[in-house]
Amino acid sequence: MKHIAKTVGFKPGERNIFFHILTACNLSCCHCYINKDQHGTQQLTKEQMEKWMALFADPAKKSNMIFLGGEPTMHPDLPFAIQKAKELGYFVTVDSNGYLFNDLLVKTSPDLLDFLSFSLDGPDAETNDPIRGEGVFETCVANIKRAVSIGFNVSVIYTVSRKNLSSLSRMIPLLLELKVKKFFIQVIGLRGKSALTDSDEIQVSREQWLDTVPEVARIAAEKGIHVTYPKVFLSPGEKFECAGVVSENFFVFPNGRVYQCPLCEDHPINAYTIEDNRLVKNNGLREDSFFRLNIEEGCVMNKLLQPDTIEYDERGRALYPISCCLLKQEIG
C-alpha cells in the first residue's frame, strides 16, 4: 500500500485544550518552551483543574484535553484530573518526559487515558541525553515498555532541530521495538529557552526539513506507525489558514493566561485570562488582533516574532509562506 501524506485541515467545532497544570519539571531540556516569568510557577489545585476544564467542555463538540507541564506527572492529582476530564467527555492525552512520577501507571487506567505520549529526541542516549539530560533515554524507554505492557496506547514526540535531524530515521526501528502506535514529529520553536539561542544553531532549513521529514514519515507509515508532523512550509498557491481564525485551540497556563497561538506564549498578549474560575476575554491589542491579517509570508505571528525563518528573493518577495504551526500532515 502506498502511503501519501495528507494535510489535516482545521475542523470547525473541534476544540484542543493544551492544559499546563504546573510549570515545574525535573529536567532542563535545552529547547523547553516554558517561560515561568510569563506562565507562572503555580501548581493548580484539584478544584481549579476541575473548574477550568469545565470552562472548555462542550458535549456538542469533539474536544481534546492534553495535560502538560512542566512535567504533568509531578502533579499528585493528575489521575483525578484525567478522571474528571473523561467525565466531561474529553479525549484525553498526557504528554510526559518519561519519568511518570506519582505511580501514574498504577493510579490511572488505559480505559481513562486515550494516549500516553512520551518525549524522545533521539534513538539512543548519545543523541537524546545531550538535549534532554543524562539518563533520560534509559528511563523513558523503560517506562514506555511498562506502559505498553499494561495496555496503554503510547505515542512518541520527537522535536527536530539541527542537533538530531540526522538521527530521525533511526527512530523507526526503536518505535517498532517499543510497539509505539503514533509518532509526532515536531519542529523546534523559537520560544522559551530556544528564543535565547541563535536560530542558526538549532533550527533546520526548509531544504533540510523537506529532504528528511516527509521521507522518514513515509517509511514509518509503511511499517505501520501513524505519523503526524507540521506542514511548516506551504508551496506556491497553497491556501494559508490561521488556526486562531478557523478552529478552537486554547493553551492554558497555571497563572491563568490562555493563549490561542503558541508562538505568542513568551509575551503578555494572551487573548483570554481565567479569573475567579471564569474565562474572560481580554481587551486591547492582543494576539487575536493579528490573526486575520493577510500577508504573503503566511503566518503573521511568525513574521512578527521570528522573521528569520522566512526567505526572500532578490525583489523582496517571500519564496514561500510559513503555515500555521498547528496545521499538520498525517500519514499512516
Mean pLDDT of 158-164: 94
Tally the domains of the chain: 1
Is position 198 within any domain? yes
User: Domain limits at 51?
Assistant: 6-238+325-331
Does the residue 166 lie in any domain? yes
> Can you give the CATH number for the domain in which 161 is found?
3.20.20.70
pTM of the model: 0.94
- The string of pLDDT tens digits covering residues 215-243 is 999 999 999 999 999 999 998 788 899 99
How confident is the model over 284-313, as pLDDT tens digits?
A: 999 999 999 999 999 999 999 888 888 999
The answer, yes or no, to whether the previous bond of 70 is cis (omega within 30 of 0) is yes
Secondary structure (DSSP) of 201-241: HHPPPHHHHHHHHHHHHHHHHHTT-EEEEE--BPPTTPPP-
* All residues at 6 or more sequence positions from 48 whose CB lies less than 8 Å from its CB, including other chains: 277
Tell me, what DSSP letter sits at residue 22? B
What is the tens place of the pLDDT at every residue in 266-290? 999 999 999 999 999 999 999 999 9
* % of residues, the chain, pLDDT over 70: 94
Could you report the per-residue pLDDT of 188-214, keeping only the tens digit for each?
765 655 555 555 567 888 899 999 999
What mean pLDDT is predicted for residues 8-22?
86
Domain-embedded: residue 118: yes
Q: DSSP 3-state assignment of 82?
A: helix
